[in-house]
Amino acid sequence: MKYIILLGDGMADYPLGELGGRTPLEAAKKPNIDSLARNGVGGFLQTIPSGMGAGSDVANLSILGYDPKSYYTGRGPLEAASMGVKLEKDEMAFRCNFITEKDGRIEDYSAGHITSEETKGLIDALNENFDLGRFYRGVRYRNLFVIKSLQEVETTPPHDVLGGRISEHLVKPSKSKDVTRLNEMILGSKSVLENHPINRKRVKEGRNPANMIWLWGQGVAPSIEPFSKSHGLKGAVISAVDLIKGIGIYAGLDLIEVPNATGLIDTNWEGKADSAIEALERVDMVYLHVEAIDEASHAGDAELKIRAIEEFDKRLVGRLLKNIDFNCRIAVLPDHYTPISLKTHSSDPVPYIISTLDGEGDGLRSYSEKEVQERGSLGIREGHKFMEYFLTDSVG
Ligand SMILES: [Zn+2]
3-state secondary structure 48-62: CCCCCCCCHHHHHHH
pLDDT at position 182: 97
The model's confidence at residue 396, banded by pLDDT at 50, 70 and 90, is very low
pLDDT at position 394: 58
The yes-or-no verdict on residue 43 having pLDDT over 60 is yes
Phi-psi region of 195 (alpha: psi -120 to 50; beta: other; left: phi over 0): alpha
The model's confidence at residue 359, banded by pLDDT at 50, 70 and 90, is low
The yes-or-no verdict on residue 242 having pLDDT over 60 is yes
Write the pLDDT tens digit of every residue in 308-332: 999 999 999 999 999 999 899 999 9
204 Cα: distance to centroid of ligand 1 (angstroms): 36
Nearest to residue 95, comparing CAs of 133, 58, 135, 54? Answer: 135
Nearest to residue 23, comparing CAs of 375, 299, 306? Answer: 306
For 114-135, give the DSSP string.
--HHHHHHHHHHHHHH--SSEE
Whole-number Å distance between alpha carbons of 301 and 75: 27
The yes-or-no verdict on residue 241 having pLDDT over 80 is yes
Is the separation of the CB atoms in 333 and 48 below 8 Å? no
Beta pairing partners, 44: 351, 380
The model's confidence at residue 393, banded by pLDDT at 50, 70 and 90, is low
Whole-number Å distance between alpha carbons of 247 and 101: 32
**pTM for the structure as a whole:** 0.90
| Section 327-349 average pLDDT | 96
324 Cα: distance to centroid of ligand 1 (angstroms): 27
190 Cα: distance to centroid of ligand 1 (angstroms): 32
Write the pLDDT tens digit of every residue in 178-195: 999 999 999 999 999 999
148 Cα: distance to centroid of ligand 1 (angstroms): 29
338 Cα: distance to centroid of ligand 1 (angstroms): 8
Strands 328-333 and 350-356: antiparallel
The yes-or-no verdict on residue 134 having pLDDT over 90 is yes
Whole-number Å distance between alpha carbons of 313 and 308: 9
227-254 residues labelled b (16+ CB within 10 A) or e (exposed): bbebbeebbbbbbbbbbbbbbbbbbebe
Write the pLDDT tens digit of every residue in 145-185: 999 999 889 999 998 899 999 999 999 998 999 999 999 99
124 Cα: distance to centroid of ligand 1 (angstroms): 32
